[in-house]
Amino acid sequence: MKRKFAAAAGVAVVATLSLAACSGGSETPAEESGPVTLTLSGWSLDTTPEFQALADAFHEENPDVTIELKGYDPAEYNTLITADLAAGSGPDIITQKEVKFVSTFVEGGQLLDVSDVELPDDISGAASYEVDGAAYAVPYRNDSWVLYYNKDLFDQAGVEHPDGSWTWDDYSEAAAALTEGLAASGAKGAYLHRWQSTVQGFASAQSDTDVLTGDYEYMEPFYENVLALQTAGDQVDFNTSSANQLTYQGEFGTQKAAMLPMGTWYVATLIAQQASGDADDFEWGIAPIPQSDESTAGLDNTPVTFGDPTGFGINAGIDESKVQAAKDFLAFAAGEEGAQILAGIGITPALLSDAVVETYFAVDGAPADDLSKFAYSTHEVFPENPTSSKTAAIQGILNDMHTAIMSGSAPVADAITEAQERVANEVGLD
């Protein structure tokens, strides 16, 4: 299994966010320091089981350490966490929900240096938390983007299943054939969700570049491809999806679309929705995401995709007596035991050992075919959001570009030129 992550960029200090950071942690093991209670931030706690699962398992192995969850609104997570940290009421362990905000926390002096936390050799996503050579969080999960496909609809339309060798041209041809073959039911060949990631993430990863370059012409052929699918009627158009607030779960789960590019987090959701009846009962699988050319396609090669990790960092203002326990939790969550716990509930850990992959696919309702296992475990993952204080602002501009292109309000080339000019003028790149 191969992983690849762009090097973390250097950052400038943001004085307005600065907080005093405490000194390093004690060398005393957590189990010898007496009872400790740690607080851990999370979101949507009722429907996001990973936080409690990891907290309970760590407590079972370390009875003197209790981890209490502190829930936040997922839509306002980073804003609310930042406010709590500034007020001195932030949790001890801070879940890093979005990589593009890591630099903001680091520049504000709000994260402890955790470079001494030992990580498995094969873990993915660790570089996303490195700033100027130091690590400020550890990855515990790392979803990557794959292609979901409805085997029943493929068979109904008489279209051959993906075999792991597809390029985007193959994907477009299959979408057209599926739409034609499923015309009686009204199902589309594919569904592309409205997020900018669905085009820009693949463009950056498969062009071996990132958004910090300020040059986005490499995205043009990727946009031309999805616009052609939209124009042909082989996927729901952006404006219809926006106006009707379509969900990717609804489009794929109720068989309105035969294919769906989406992150591996959807596996657990689809399994749960099929079990509850919120999704139809049909046979499905996952395949490697289509590639820009044949050099990375096929089971003898390593497909290129994208995905950002989710990680745990430590509040720089944590009481020194709790530091070692917090670091022990980070090592546990990122290690084999944490990975097995996550895989057992259908969540993709940052560590994908053979044993972890076996656990993941043993979940009731998960696909069991070899291609699904290959797509899940074999890929080269590039981060969508390179670690930089400029990433969030750039992504905001690129989201405007995405909306303009997909809605048809601006030609692709014109929208890209405008985005490049805005990034140069509003953000500035070295």
The model's pLDDT over 337-346, given as tens digits with 9 standing for 90+, comes to 999 999 998 8
Of 159, 154, 153, 126, the residue nearest 140 (C-alpha): 126
- Check whether 7 has a pLDDT greater than 70: no
Region 273-297 average pLDDT:
96
DSSP state of 167: B
More confident residue, 14 or 94: 94
Q: Tell me the pLDDT tens digit for each residue of 395-409.
A: 999 999 999 999 999
Q: What is the pLDDT of residue 33?
A: 56
**The pLDDT value given to residue 342:** 95
Element (H, E) at 421: helix 412-422
The pLDDT value recorded for residue 260 is 98
pLDDT(4) > 80: no
pLDDT category of residue 75 using cuts at 50, 70 and 90: confident
Of the pLDDT bands very low, low, confident and very high (cuts 50, 70, 90), residue 430 is: low
Burial class (CB in 10 A: 0-12, 13-18, 19+), 132: exposed
- Full-model pTM: 0.84
Summarize pLDDT for 258-282 with one digit per residue, the tens: 999 999 989 988 998 999 999 999 9
**Distance from C-alpha of 283 to C-alpha of 181, rounded to nearest angstrom:** 18
Q: What percent of the chain has pLDDT over 70?
A: 92
pLDDT in tens, 132-175: 999 999 999 999 999 999 999 999 999 999 999 999 999 999 99
What is the pLDDT at residue 100? 87
Give the whole-angstrom CA distance, residue 292 versus residue 290.
Answer: 7
Amino acid at 156: Q
Q: Are 289 and 202 within 8 A, CB to CB?
A: yes
Domains and CATH numbers, the chain: 15-143+309-352 (3.40.190.10), 145-305 (3.40.190.10)
Cα-based distances in Å from 263 to 34, 121, 339, 347:
41, 24, 18, 11
Least confident residue range of 9-13, 24-28, 182-186, 355-359? 9-13
Phi/psi of residue 41, nearest 5 degrees: -80, 150
Q: What span, in angstroms and rounded, lies between the C-alpha atoms of 198 and 235?
A: 13
Per-residue pLDDT for 117 more than 60? yes
Write a three-state SS string for 367-384.
CCCHHHHHHHHCCEEECC
Q: Which residues contact 370 (CB under 8 A, 6 or more apart)?
A: none
Neighbour-count burial of 34, counting CB atoms closer than 10 A to its CB (0-12 exposed, 13-18 middle, 19+ buried): exposed
* H-only helix segments in 289-387: 323-334, 336-344, 354-361, 370-377
Task: Assess contact for 36 and 321: CB atoms under 8 A.
Answer: yes
Mean pLDDT value across residues 4-30: 32
pLDDT digits (tens, 9 = 90+) for 179-228: 999 999 999 999 999 999 999 999 999 999 999 999 999 999 999 999 99
pLDDT on residue 31: 43
Give the integer Cα–Cα distance in Å for 85 and 30. Answer: 24
Identify which has the larger pLDDT, 17 or 359.
359
Q: Which has more pLDDT, 10 or 313? A: 313
Q: What pLDDT score was predicted for residue 268?
A: 86
Report d(CA 418, CA 426) in Å as an integer: 12
Residue with tokens 């073959």: 181
- CB 10, CB 132: distance < 8 Å: yes
Under 8 Å between Cβ of 207 and 218? yes
**pLDDT, tens only, 86-112:** 999 999 999 999 898 899 899 999 999
Whether 53 contacts 88, CB under 8 Å = no
Residue 13 has pLDDT above 90, yes or no: no
Q: Return the percentage of the chain with pLDDT > 90, whole number.
A: 84
Mean pLDDT, rounded, of the chain: 90
Q: Is the pLDDT of residue 1 over 60?
A: no
Write out the two tokens for 369: 């075919």
User: How buried is 49 (Cβ within 10 angstroms: 0-12 exposed, 13-18 middle, 19+ buried)?
Assistant: middle
Evaluate whether 259 touches 147 at the Cβ level (below 8 Å).
yes
- Give the DSSP H/E element, type plus range, for residue 405: helix 391-407
Question: Running DSSP on this structure, what letter comes out for residue 281?
Answer: -
The CA-based diameter of the chain, rounded to the nearest angstrom, is 68
